[in-house]
A and B are shown apart, each in its own frame.
Chain A
Amino acid sequence: MVQSALENESSFNEATTQDYIALLKFRVMRLAVFTAGVALVIAPASINPVVAIGSLICIGIGAGAAGALNMWWDSDIDSIMTRTSNRPIPAGKITCNQALSFGLFLTFFSVMFLGLFANHLSAALLAGTIAFYILIYTMFLKRRTSQNIVIGGAAGALPPVIGWTVSTNSIGFESILMFFLIFLWTPPHFWSLCLMTKSDYSKSKIPMLTETHGEEETKRQIILYSLLLLVPSLLISFTSVGGLFYLVSTLILNAAFLYLAISLGGFGRLNKPLRRKRERQLFLYSIFYLFAHFSILMAEFLAKFFFSFYNDFSRVLVWF
C-alpha cells in the first residue's frame, strides 16, 4: 500500500529550482529589466553603477513577483489553456499556497530593497505596478472586459518610468513618453498572440477581443494601435533622449509595423496557412519592435556620450 502510494507522482512531488524560476515569467521579467535599464542609463543624471545594478535586480525581482502572483490567481485558467498548461501550478509541481507565499515574499523584498538602494518614489512606483498588475488587471479586468490588456498594459509599461526615477528621483516627460510607447504597443502585441492561440482563449472563456468582437474587429484595432504608436515614438525623437538617428529608425520601424498590421487584415481574403503566417510574423515583429526601440535609444545615448567625450578629449589635446 505504501509502495503504491509512492508510485503515485504526487506523493514525492518536490518542486525544483527550475519550477520556481518558471513562476517568475522570465520573458516578461527580461523585458521589464531591459526597458527599465535603458531608461535608467539614458536619464539625465548620474548614478553609481553598483546602485544601478542593485536597483535593476530589485525591479527584475518585482516583475517576477508579479508573474508568480499572476500564476497563483490564474492557475484555474492556466490548466485549461494549452499554452499555459505546463506552468508549475497546473502541472502539479508547485501548490497555489507556495506560489502565493513566494510571490508575496518577493514583492516585499523587491520593494523594500529598491527603496533602500534607490529612492522612495521608485519603490512606491514598483509597489504600485505590482498592485495594479495583480489587483486591477489579473483579479478584476482580465475575466471581465475585452479591454483587459489595453488598461492592464499600464503595468507592463511602467518599468521605464521606474528606471528613470531610480536615476533622477523624479518622473520626467521622456519617461512618460516611453510609458505610452509600451502602453500602446501592448494591445497589438497581445492581440496578435490571441489570433494565433484563439482556441485557447475560447476554451478558458477569457473575454479577449478576438472572442467578444471577432477576428476582423481585432485586426482593425491592431491597425488603429499601430497608427497610434507613431505619436509617442515621434515625440520621443524631439526630446533630450531622442535624435535624428532615432527619428529615422522609428519611422522605419513604425512603417513596417503598420504594413504587417494592414497585411494581416487587408489586401483581400487570406487563406488559413497564409493568415497564420502573417499573425506569427506580426507577433514576432512586435517583440523585435520594442527591443529595437529601446536599443536605438541606448545607441543614441552612447553615440552622444562618446561624441562629447571625443570633443572634450580633443580640446585637452589642443591645450597640450
Chain B
Amino acid sequence: MVLDQSKDEFNVKRRNRNFWLAICLAGFIVMIFLVTIAKLSSGGMIEGFDHTLRMSVYKE
C-alpha cells in the first residue's frame, strides 16, 4: 500500500519535471530559430565560407 503510494508520487513528480523540461527544450528551439531568422535578416556580420568567389576578399 505504502509502496504503491510512494511509487505514484515518484512517477507524478518525474512526469511533471519531464513535462517542464520538454517545454524548456521547445522554447530553446523556438528561441534559436527566431534569433537565426533575426540575424539572417540583418545580415551584417554573417559572411561564412560558401565555396564561391566573393568580391569583398579581393583587393582592387
Please list the residues of chain A having a beta carbon within 8 angstroms of any beta carbon in chain B. 2-3, 6-7, 11-12, 14-17, 20, 48, 50-51, 54, 57, 116-117
Contact = CB atoms under 8 A, between A and B. Distances in A.
B2 A7 contact: yes
14 contacts: A7-B2, A11-B6, A12-B6, A12-B7, A12-B10, A14-B13, A17-B16, A17-B17, A48-B38, A50-B37, A50-B38, A54-B34, A54-B35, A117-B35
Closest 9 CB pairs of A and B: A50-B38, A14-B13, A17-B20, A12-B6, A48-B38, A54-B35, A12-B10, A6-B6, A50-B34
A11 B2 CA distance: 12
A12 B38 CA distance: 45
A12 B9 CA distance: 8
Q: Is the interface of B mostly helix, strand, loop or mixed?
A: helix
Given A2-B3, A6-B3, A7-B2, A14 B10 contact: yes
Interface residues of B toward A: which range? 10 to 19
Contacts of A117: 35
Nearest to B8: A12
A29 to B, nearest CB: 15
Contacts of B14: 14
Contacts of A17: 16-17, 20
A3 B2 CA distance: 7
A54 B38 CA distance: 11
Contacts of B34: 50, 54
Which of A7, A17, A20, A51 has most chain B Cβ within 10 Å? A17
Nearest to A116: B35
A12 B41 CA distance: 50
B31 interface: yes
B46 to A, nearest CB: 12
Interface in B1-27: 2-3, 6-7, 9-10, 13-14, 16-17, 20
Interface string B25-57: 000000100110111011000000000000000
Contacts of B16: 16-17
Contacts of B42: 48
Which of B14, B31, B37, B41 has most chain A Cβ within 10 Å? B31
Which of A2, A7, A14, A117 has most chain B Cβ within 10 Å? A14
Contact of A51 (B3, B17, B20, B35): B35
Contacts of B35: 50-51, 54, 116-117
Nearest to A21: B20
Contacts of A54: 31, 34-35
